[in-house]
Structure 1
Amino acid sequence: MTKAMKIAIVDDEKDMRQSISQWLALSGFDTETFASAEEALKGINSDYPGIVVSDIKMPGMDGMQFLRKIKGLDSTLPVIMITGHGDVPMAVEAMRIGAFDFLEKPFNPDRMTELAKKATNARRLTLDNRALRKELSDGSALMQKLIGASPSMVRLKEDILDLGQADGHVLIEGETGTGKTLVAHALHAVGSRANKKFVLISCAAYDEDTLVRRLFGPAQEDEPIPAMEEARGGTLVLEDIEALSQSLQARLLTAINEQGTPAETRIVAICNLQEQNKTCESVLRPDLFYRLAALRITVPPLRQRGEDILTLFTALSEQFADEYGCDAPQVTAQEAAQLLQAPWPGNVRQLINVAERAVLQSRRGSGTIASLLMSDSDEEGRPAMTTEGKPLKEFVEAFERMLIDNTMRRHKGSIVAVMDELCLPRRTLNEKMAKYGLQRSDYL
């Protein structure tokens, strides 16, 4: 569930601090109070998970000096200023410096709550975006998002680490929903350009004229700088590369050739043609294709990833359960087999949807995973199961691994509790954990 944002209340008058704090706490906020600006600055940093409410007139460092200090720490941190009667010109100056808004005493408490909600929503968005940018620049964090230990995923991770260190252009192929854009982010994050610009453009999202300007310029007044210029020194990702017209393909090839070797800007092209029985090679002009496909990565479809399906489903359902404030659904042996047998035409994207719907069903106490897979049946109403036979041993081992993994998670690594619930002697449990690569330290 979403954690309440903090509100730092700064006022030298004790009664005013307490009354504001009590009102905002009743409105669902997590408040903390400070008797002076100097004291508040000891508890506020650039990543402060909330907002500030401050009086303007205070002894020592006044509200205006305090506001300037806060803006020096983090220009995006919202500060609501409280003014006395007749201090409106000072409040206007505070707004010019960067205050979020101001309240004139005596103020309406409901107005205070309204402003606090707006300011905390703005702060949450800023912090989320900041965290996302940090995550997308962290190669290790991105590699952890590529969940799975199947041979195809191990090979994919090795390819990312190898090609990330290279400097040539890359072509990423794979079915819709397999995570090709995440792979592009990871390629950038683990390579030598990690601290440079990462720019992503969908070639299918613009008409021809707009795409020419977006890629090469000249940009119109209200448009960002051209992507080739913006990504200089870094990585330019072109999603849906197959959507480029012949003339744009020629323009892109010229731009690539003009860069020389090594390339000033690395191009990562993403192709989405596998479901249409076409190839990127068949739709791109040969000279462009061979420039872009100097290095190639194929992202495996979910149906070929074996027990990764159960590992992913467990991780996703726990994530959604935490978000919705409920327990994750327990998967039966039959449901595990059904998850492994499903063809997953939408790949990981489809699995994400099924996991979220399974959590919502579980919270209501109704529905099954089988019913969710049935709802994804084909036009003739046949269940969403593969015709590709899998040996019984594969189903049994995948379910066994998932069962031990889930139980270890639930008991936070307590071997005794897991032995008791699964009715397994310690030696057998240890052998099975070793067989499936499960480490007790991961659950503590």
Structure 2
Amino acid sequence: MAKAMKIAIVDDEQDMRQSISQWLALSGYDTETFASAEDALKALGPDYPGIVISDIKMPGMDGMQFLKKLMGSDSALPVIMITGHGDVPMAVEAMRVGAFDFLEKPFNPDRMTELAKKATNARRLTLDNRALRRELSDGGQLMKKLIGSAPAMERLKEDILDLGQADGHVLIDGETGTGKTLVAHALHAVGSRAGKKFVLLSCAAWDEDALAKRLFGPMLPEDSQLPAVEEARGGTLVLEDVEALSDSLQARLLSFINDQGTPAETRVVAICNMQEQDRTCEDALRSDLFYRLAALRITLPPLRQRGEDILTLFTRLSEQFADEYGCETPQVSAQEAAQLLQAPWPGNVRQLINLAERAVLQSRRGSGTIASLLMSDHEDMQPVMTTEGKPLKEYVEAFERMLIDNTMRRHKGSIASVMEELCLPRRTLNEKMAKYGLARADYL
């Protein structure tokens, strides 16, 4: 579940501090109080996980000085100022400096709660965006998101690390929902351009005239953005749905690539998402552009070809959603594991994410099964376990690995607890963990 946001209450009057704190605590907020701005500044860093409510008139450092210090440290930190009657001009000045809003004494507690809710929602969005930006610039974290040990996934990770260090342009293709945009982020993050501009543009989201302006310019005087080719200079320009480019825009993109020379100042990563039957990226792009982009190429494997990675992914996703919704992770039966492995997964990982969330939600309600969800997604699936397409031994091993992995995670690496729950002797458990590449240290 989302962690409660903090609210720092700064006021030199003890009664006021305590009354505000008690009221907001009843509304579910985690409050902390400070008798002076100086004390508060020692505790409020640039990524403070909450908001600030401060009186304006205080001895020593007053509220305005305090606000300016906070804005200098983190200009996106929401600060609600409390003003005395008749101090509206000072409150207006506080808003100009960067205050989120102000309350005039005597104020309605419900109004304060309403402002606190708006401010904490804004703060949560800011912190989430910061965390996402840090994550997308961290190659190690991005590589960890590429979960799975199937041979196709191991090759994909090696390709990303190799091509990330290269200077050439890249074409990424594969079925919808396989994670092509994530791979583009990873290519940038593990390469020499990490830390430089990463510009992502969906070619299918604009009409031709608007796309031409956004991609190449000229931008209108009132536009705050540079054209994408200028904005990405020195970094990476990612073009999603590159097959949606018209012939004339393909010609301009080719000229942009050719004019850069070698090595390219700006790397172009093209993502092709062909869904039409019997058509490929090569069919959709002019040949000279295709061969410039496809000199380095990554094709993502469909989920149905990733074997027991399907169970690993489903487990991780279910755990994440269960944590988010504050409930238990649904348990997967042997029959359901087999059906997860057999499903055709036309929507690939994106479809699996949706299924995992729905499984958690229905488990929280105490109704339904994973099998019923699979049946609703795939009408041609049989409701019984079969061995169609794979030897039974593969299904059994995949389920056994998932069961040991889940139990080790639940017991945080306690071998004794896992032995007891699974009724396995120590030697057998050790042998199976070695067989499936599971290490106790990963669960501690």
TM-score normalised by structure 2 residue count: 0.97
* Unpaired stretches in structure 1, ≥5 consecutive residues: none
Does the aligned pair in 2 maintain the 1:343–1:386 contact within 8 Å? Answer: no
Give yes or no for the alignment of 1:372 onto 2:384: no
Q: Distance in 2 between matches of 1:412 and 1:32?
A: 33
Q: Distance in 1 between matches of 2:389 and 2:424?
A: 30
Change (3 A) 1:64 1:125: same
Q: Distance in 1 between matches of 2:382 and 2:373?
A: 10
Counting matched residue pairs gives 442
Indicate the percent of aligned positions where both proteins have the same amino acid.
85
Q: Distance in 2 between matches of 1:137 and 1:277?
A: 36
Alignment root-mean-square deviation, CA: 1.4
Match of 1:315 in 2: 316
Q: Distance in 2 between matches of 1:368 and 1:78?
A: 44
Match of 2:6 in 1: 6
Match of 2:348 in 1: 347
Q: Distance in 2 between matches of 1:93 and 1:329?
A: 53
Q: Distance in 1 between matches of 2:232 and 2:114?
A: 40
Structure 2 residue identity aligned to 1:312: L
Q: Distance in 1 between matches of 2:278 and 2:59?
A: 74
Does the aligned pair in 2 maintain the 1:164–1:188 contact within 8 Å? Answer: yes
Q: Distance in 1 between matches of 2:367 and 2:83?
A: 54
Give yes or no for the alignment of 1:218 onto 2:218: yes
Match of 1:293 in 2: 294
Q: Which moved more, 1:223-232 or 1:248-257?
A: 223-232
Structure 1 residue identity aligned to 2:339: Q
Query: 5 Å matches for 1:253-402?
Result: 253-273=254-274, 276-378=277-379, 381=380, 383=382, 389-402=389-402
Does the aligned pair in 2 maintain the 1:376–1:383 contact within 8 Å? Answer: no
Does the aligned pair in 2 maintain the 1:6–1:31 contact within 8 Å? Answer: yes
Query: 5 Å matches for 1:63-74?
Result: 63-74=63-74
Offset, 1:282:
1.5
Structure 1 residue identity aligned to 2:100: F
Match of 2:161 in 1: 161
Offset, 1:41:
0.4
Offset, 1:386:
10
Q: Distance in 1 between matches of 2:167 and 2:382?
A: 45
Structure 1 residue identity aligned to 2:306: R
Match of 2:236 in 1: 235
Q: Distance in 2 between matches of 1:274 and 1:8?
A: 52
Query: 5 Å matches for 1:193-212?
Result: 193-212=193-212
Structure 2 residue identity aligned to 1:410: R
Offset, 1:388:
6.2
Q: Distance in 1 between matches of 2:139 and 2:194?
A: 8
Structure 1 residue identity aligned to 2:231: E
Offset, 1:377:
2.3
Query: 5 Å matches for 1:112-127?
Result: 112-127=112-127
Structure 1 residue identity aligned to 2:26: L
Match of 2:110 in 1: 110
Does the aligned pair in 2 maintain the 1:342–1:386 contact within 8 Å? Answer: no
Match of 2:186 in 1: 186
TM-score normalised by structure 1 residue count: 0.97
Local SS of the residue matching 2:99: coil
Does the aligned pair in 1 maintain the 2:54–2:63 contact within 8 Å? Answer: yes
- Runs (4+) off by over 3 Å: 381-388
Give yes or no for the alignment of 1:248 onto 2:242: no
Local SS of the residue matching 2:204: coil
Does the aligned pair in 1 maintain the 2:202–2:241 contact within 8 Å? Answer: yes
Structure 2 residue identity aligned to 1:276: Q
Does the aligned pair in 2 maintain the 1:85–1:104 contact within 8 Å? Answer: yes
Change (3 A) 1:387 1:179: farther
Offset, 1:117:
0.6
Does the aligned pair in 2 maintain the 1:215–1:226 contact within 8 Å? Answer: yes
Does the aligned pair in 2 maintain the 1:170–1:293 contact within 8 Å? Answer: yes
Q: Deviations over 1:220-277 (max 9, x none)?
A: 2246221001000000011111111111111110111111111111000011126522
* Unpaired stretches in structure 2, ≥5 consecutive residues: none
Match of 1:147 in 2: 147
Q: Deviations over 1:391-431 (max 9, x none)?
A: 11111110000000111111111111110111100011011
Local SS of the residue matching 2:60: coil
Local SS of the residue matching 2:205: coil
Does the aligned pair in 2 maintain the 1:175–1:275 contact within 8 Å? Answer: no
Match of 1:438 in 2: 438
Structure 1 residue identity aligned to 2:71: K
Offset, 1:297:
0.4
Structure 1 residue identity aligned to 2:55: D
Local SS of the residue matching 2:171: strand
Give yes or no for the alignment of 1:173 onto 2:173: yes
Change (3 A) 1:128 1:297: same
